[in-house]
Structures are given as structure tokens and as C-alpha cells.
Amino acid sequence: MSKENRDTLEVYEKLFQEYFNGTKRRIKNRGAEKTAIKAKLEHSFWFEGFKTLGNHADILEIGSADGLGAKALAEYGFNVTASDTVGGFIDELEKNGLNPIKYNVLIDHPDCQFDGVLAWHVFVHFTPNDLKIALKNIHSILRPEGCLIFDVQTRGEKSGEISEWIDYDGDYHLGAKRFFQYYSESAVRKIIDDTDFKIIKFERHNSDSGIGWLRFVVSSES
């Protein structure tokens, strides 16, 4: 577990309520209709990736935060286990009627297995070495032919692997800097090649800000 990831988790431990407040501001400023459209597009990527597992598959969500993702998966018929490492997020998940587990994908090794794992907007705080460790640890808790869905941020293929400590303005403002890692597609593909995963689906989503998303569906090969 890198110092960058550990220090970022400490920020969330202290400022989890600001994170929730920012989420509410973002929904308000974007508008309910645009928020619903964005969520639908993201959720369709999840459901398409998990559909081969069957409606009652056991899914672990890593970094559940407020639980909206876990609830969406449950509504689709999956047996969902929400998880997070931040105490304030765990409390919120429990308030929202979920039964979360405290789980850090970099250091914890639970004695259970799942058909699928979702890590959405989680690996933005992971160094390349963190990402390698996370994929290996996730593979160990997936059943044969299990499926992992995840995304990472990118600033384009030519920029290489860059990172920064930043506290965004506006809706993403927390009051303290967090670590963010950006990946090229080729770098992520190399990391995946070094694990026992194979890529099933890939999408690139660009934005006017210059920061985009690389989305992957990968399957365990053994």
C-alpha cells in the first residue's frame, strides 16, 4: 500500500461529510435529468459486463461510499456486498440499509469468493504498483471465470503516467488535497497482461477538460 493511497484515505476519514455534501451539490448543479442519464450510461456498462454471471451472482463493490452503486446492482437482481475502508462511509452504508464490510483491497484477504467485483472511480487514487496489487488480490477472491469491472482516469496516451495532489474547486472540493493517478491505455493493458485476467471489453470516454476515463471489463482466466 503506497503512502499516496494511505494519505488519501486519511483525507476521506477526516472529510467524508464534505464528500457527501459535494455529491449533493453536483447532483443539484447538474440537474436530476442529466444525473439520471449519466448514471444510466455507467450502469449499462456494469450490467453488460456482469450479465454473463446471471442475475443472482454474488457481486462485491469496492469503495461503495454512499451506496448508490451497490443499490443499482441490487435492483438489477445481483446479490451485492458493499464495502469501503473509510469509517464514515461504512456508517453511511449501514444507514442506507446495506450490510457493508470494511475492506481494503490492498491489504485485506477475506475468506470468501465472489462472481464479480466492481471498482468504480476507486483506482483514481492508486499508483501503478497499487493497481497491480489490487488486481492480483481481486483475482484471488473471484470464482473461476469471474468478472472485474473498473475504471481509471487518463490524460491521453502521449502524456504517459502522471499524477498530482489536488483539491478540486466547485463540487469536488473537500478542503484537503488528494492523490490522483492518470494512466495511458497501454500502461493499463500491460498491468492487466501481468495478471491472470483477460480483457473482455474496453471503452474510452474523453472530456473537454482533458481528463478522460478508461473503462475495462476483465475476466479471470483460472
Q: Are 21 and 42 in contact (CB under 8 A)?
A: no
CATH number, domain containing residue 50: 3.40.50.150
Q: What is the pLDDT of residue 21?
A: 86
Q: Which residue has the higher pLDDT, 38 or 91?
A: 91
Q: How far apart are CA 6 and CA 61, in angstroms?
A: 20
Total domains in the chain come to 1
Q: What is the pLDDT of residue 71?
A: 93
Mean pLDDT value of segment 47-58: 92
Q: What is the pLDDT of residue 160?
A: 65
Q: Can you read off the three cell numbers belonging to residue 84?
A: 469501503
Q: What is the pLDDT of residue 123?
A: 98
Mean pLDDT value of segment 46-56: 91
Residues in the chain: 222
| Enclosing domain of residue 91 | 3-220
Going from the C-alpha of 205 to that of each of 40, 56, 152, the distances in angstroms are 15, 29, 11
Least confident of 116-125, 133-142, 168-177, 199-208: 168-177
CB atoms within 10 A of CB 75: 10
Q: Can you read off the three cell numbers belonging to residue 67?
A: 451506496
Q: What is the pLDDT of residue 186?
A: 92
Q: How far apart are CA 216 and CA 212, in angstroms?
A: 13
Average pLDDT, the chain: 91
**pLDDT tens, position by position, 100-148:** 999 999 999 999 999 999 999 999 999 999 999 999 999 999 999 999 9
Q: What is the pLDDT of residue 53?
A: 94
pLDDT at 159 over 70: no
H-helix or E-strand spanning residue 80: strand 79-84
Q: Can you read off the three cell numbers belonging to residue 25?
A: 451539490
Residue 20 banded pLDDT, cuts 50, 70, 90: confident
Percent share of the chain, pLDDT over 90: 72
Q: What is the pLDDT of residue 208?
A: 72
CB atoms within 10 A of CB 130: 20
Q: What is the pLDDT of residue 210?
A: 80
DSSP code for 183: -
pLDDT at 181 over 80: yes
**pLDDT tens, position by position, 59-105:** 999 999 999 999 999 998 999 999 999 999 999 999 999 999 999 99
Q: How far apart are CA 213 and CA 206, in angstroms?
A: 6
pLDDT at 37 over 70: no
CA dihedral 40, 116, 104, 170 (to 10 degrees): -10
Nearest to 83 by CA among 46, 39, 127, 114: 114
Phi, psi of 52, deg, nearest 5: -70, -15
How remote is the C-alpha of 38 from its chain's centroid? 16
